[in-house]
């Protein structure tokens, strides 16, 4: 059940392959490695360029290289005409491609890049609690700035059943999920690059679900200790009385 989203804090994201644009998700503020994904002879070319949405970022010629003013100070040159684009922001999302011109122009790399901020901390609230002697039912709401989901839990001393909360609602690429695990209700908020959650303990919501076996053991220990103490006191009194009787004789 957990976790259904694609996650990864991408300190340096390397995409591979060509096509309509291999999807790449990057955490805001991190770096993107733009690498030539197709085996190609780059020797003797007239022009090699990296582009974003068809606008030049970097241009290589046989004896020179240049960077667009918008990317000045943010480009690190690597081997084989790969580059690293630093400190990506949401405005850097787009289609990145590499083209080599040797008489004709050939596309040798293409990535569809989306830059996302960290998922915000979700809010987990309880809207109602219904208790009986043996079970407890409550409804929770798991919400973020953009969406929310509701789920109802019914718990006894051993298990909890759940209705709802298994699908997200809201904007694309933002995921919400609420579920129970290890005695807690967990509200999880995630996107493609990060996740965060908020939790509540079931026993804090359903006080009558404290472990009855644990309580019984405690009572049993108390009873055994009390009986033992009574026996010890009785033995001491008996010995004292017998000694006193013996002296009187």
For the segment 112-161, what is each residue's pLDDT rounded down to a tens digit?
999 999 999 999 999 888 888 788 999 999 998 878 899 999 998 888 89
Q: Look at residues 101, 116, 131 and tell me which one is the last residue of a structural domain.
A: 116
Domain end, chosen from 209, 227, 244, is at 209
Task: Give the model's pLDDT for residue 141.
Answer: 93
For residues 41 and 127, membership in a common domain is answered with: no
- Is residue 34 located within the same domain as residue 73? yes
Of 77 and 247, the one with more pLDDT: 77
Please tell me the distance from the alpha carbon of residue 43 to that of residue 149, in angstroms, as a whole number: 56
pLDDT band of 233, cuts 50, 70, 90: low
Q: Is residue 58 part of a domain?
A: yes
pLDDT per residue as tens digits for the range 15-43: 444 456 789 999 999 999 999 866 666 67
Backbone angles phi, psi at 99, to 5 degrees: -130, 140
CATH number at residue 28: 2.60.40.10
* DSSP bridge pairs for 137: 130, 154
Confidence band, pLDDT 50/70/90 cuts, at residue 6? very low
pLDDT digit string, tens, across residues 163-187: 887 666 556 778 889 999 989 999 9
3-state SS, residue 182:
coil
pLDDT in tens, 203-221: 898 875 654 444 344 444 5
- pLDDT value of residue 215: 39
In whole numbers, what is the pLDDT of the chain averaged over residues?
A: 80
Do 101 and 161 share a structural domain? no
Residue 22 lies in a domain: yes
Per-residue confidence (pLDDT) for residue 79, from 0 to 100: 85
Domain that holds residue 172: 123-209
Tell me the residue ranges of DSSP E strands in 94-201: 94-102, 104-116, 123-131, 136-143, 148-155, 160-163, 175-181, 184-190, 195-201
What does pTM read for this prediction? Answer: 0.67
């Amino acid at each position: 059940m957990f976790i259904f989203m694609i996650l990864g804090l991408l300190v340096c994201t390397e995409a591979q392959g060509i096509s309509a644009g291999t999807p790449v998700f990057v955490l805001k503020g991190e770096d993107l490695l733009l690498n030539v994904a197709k085996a190609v002879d780059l020797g003797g070319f007239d022009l090699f360029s990296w582009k974003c949405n068809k606008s030049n970022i970097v241009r290589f010629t046989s004896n020179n290289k240049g960077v667009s003013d918008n990317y000045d100070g943010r480009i690190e040159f690597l081997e084989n005409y790969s580059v690293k684009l630093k400190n990506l922001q949401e405005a850097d999302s787009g289609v990145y491609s590499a083209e080599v011109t040797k008489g004709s122009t050939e596309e040798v790399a293409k990535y569809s890049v989306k830059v996302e901020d960290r998922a915000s901390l979700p809010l987990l609230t309880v809207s109602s609690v219904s208790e009986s002697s043996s079970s407890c039912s409550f409804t929770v709401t798991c919400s973020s700035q953009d969406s929310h989901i509701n789920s109802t839990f019914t718990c006894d001393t051993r298990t909890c059943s759940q209705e709802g909360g298994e699908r997200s609602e809201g904007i694309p690429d933002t995921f919400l999920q609420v579920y129970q695990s290890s005695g807690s209700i967990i509200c999880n908020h995630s996107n493609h690059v990060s996740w965060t959650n908020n939790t509540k303990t079931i026993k804090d919501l359903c006080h009558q679900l404290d472990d009855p076996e644990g309580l019984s053991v405690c009572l049993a220990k108390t009873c055994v200790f009390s009986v033992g103490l009574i026996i010890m006191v009785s033995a001491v009194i008996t010995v004292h009385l017998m000694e006193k009787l013996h002296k009187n004789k």
